[in-house]
Amino acid sequence: MSSTDRAIPVHKRPVEPAKERLPLPALLALSTAVFLTCLTEVLPAGLLPAMSADLGVSESATGQTVTVFALAIALTALPLTSATAPWPRRRLLLTAMAGFGLANTVTALSSSYPLTLAARAVAGVAAGLAWALLAGYARSLVPARLHGRAVAVALAGIPVALALGVPAGTYLGLTADWRTAFLAMTALTVVLLCWITLAVPDRPGRPAGARTPVARVLAIPGVLPVLAVTLLFVLAHTLCYTYLAPYLHHVGMGGSTDRVLLVFGLASLLSIWLVGALIHRRLRALTLAATLLVAGAAALLAVPAHSAALVYAAAALWGLGWGGTPTLLQTAAGDAGDGAEEDGTGGGAAEATQAWLVTLWNVATAGGGLAGGLLLDGLGTGALPWSVLAFLVPALAVAAGARRHGFPVRARTAPDAGRP
């Protein structure tokens, strides 16, 4: 200690600000909510034979339980987000997750196909409400300079659900019973409700007079480019990812689907980490890189070489590009809405923008599955990678062109961006 330090009383010395840390217990609770909603959406795909036998319908009819889930989100996310804007955020999240647990319980106990479809629709409504809320909730828990990292942690539940949750749920359903898999998610939901109550700080809603109408959100600079890239990117991903198994069978790798998906999932987790570390300053570069990586994966899959090495390389590139994409798009949408709120042109614009993104995401999910099925029947598996490129080229053009708003060359600088 120097003589100068000794001359200044301890209580009068300047205090260095503590290094900001992410509120991990709260963010991991939000990530678990994302995990459960994502897993519930796609789990029936791995349990179709058992579910169809118990419900007394064909596998294709049972597959519509996934379609109903996505359509319910697409139809209700916007109006419900607007209607529930005044609600305190924690109460709204608890309500959505409780509805989710109830729907999964009914699904597990139902022996009626119409009742199962109705339960899946309710689950979709709850999921859409939660997804429109979660990214903004995560951002509200941290200062502006940590927004990207907070969203990355909250949305990490998506690749975890796809890489680990779906295989684990499918294994549980096959070794025990498909109903057990849904009941296990109900049990996890009960734990999550307690976790949210104890660990997630509440945030106020927004009075009715302070909200931007959802239609007017589209006029905010940057919103339309983000939504256009979302629609095109998710269409491209879904139409090929949904029919990965037929593609692998076509190239002689029908028995390697689990390993290919594992490579994809691990690369997605790496992508989430990289995006979380760099997104605050590199949102535009990361978005363009993600688009190029998935396009490169599609180009490898389009090569008629039937090479296992090329397929695994494509899966790795695809995961690296796709894993962080939900975080990138949610953050870009949130930044556009936040900009409108800060300049006084749009109260509640950030959450309304997220609702639009969730709606178009699920429209693209349903449309991608439909388009991929038509391509598969009409032109064969070889057309799928080329179709991915056909959607990604305009997505790349829109993202590259949105230099001022949407995916700006320089990210908006937060007031505390200069702090350590």
Task: Give the pLDDT confidence of 29-60 residue by residue, as tens digits.
Answer: 999 999 999 888 878 866 767 888 888 887 66
pTM given for the model? 0.75
Q: What angle do CA 25, 27, 31 make, to 5 degrees?
A: 115
Contact 93, 130 (CB under 8 A): yes
Indicate whether 376 pLDDT > 50. yes
**Candidate from 67-76, 249-258, 395-404 with smallest mean pLDDT:** 249-258
End-to-end CA distance of the chain: 24
Using DSSP, state whether 344 is helix, strand or coil: coil
Structure tokens at 297: 């994966």
Whether 155 and 326 have beta carbons less than 8 Å apart is answered as yes
Q: What is the pLDDT of residue 210?
A: 53
Burial (Cβ within 10 Å: 0-12, 13-18, ≥19) of residue 138: buried
Distance CA 186, CA 182 (A): 6
Give me 63's structure tokens: 């597959």
Q: What's the pLDDT band for 91 if we cut at 50, 70, 90?
A: very high
The percentage of residues in the chain with a pLDDT greater than 70, rounded to a whole number, is 85
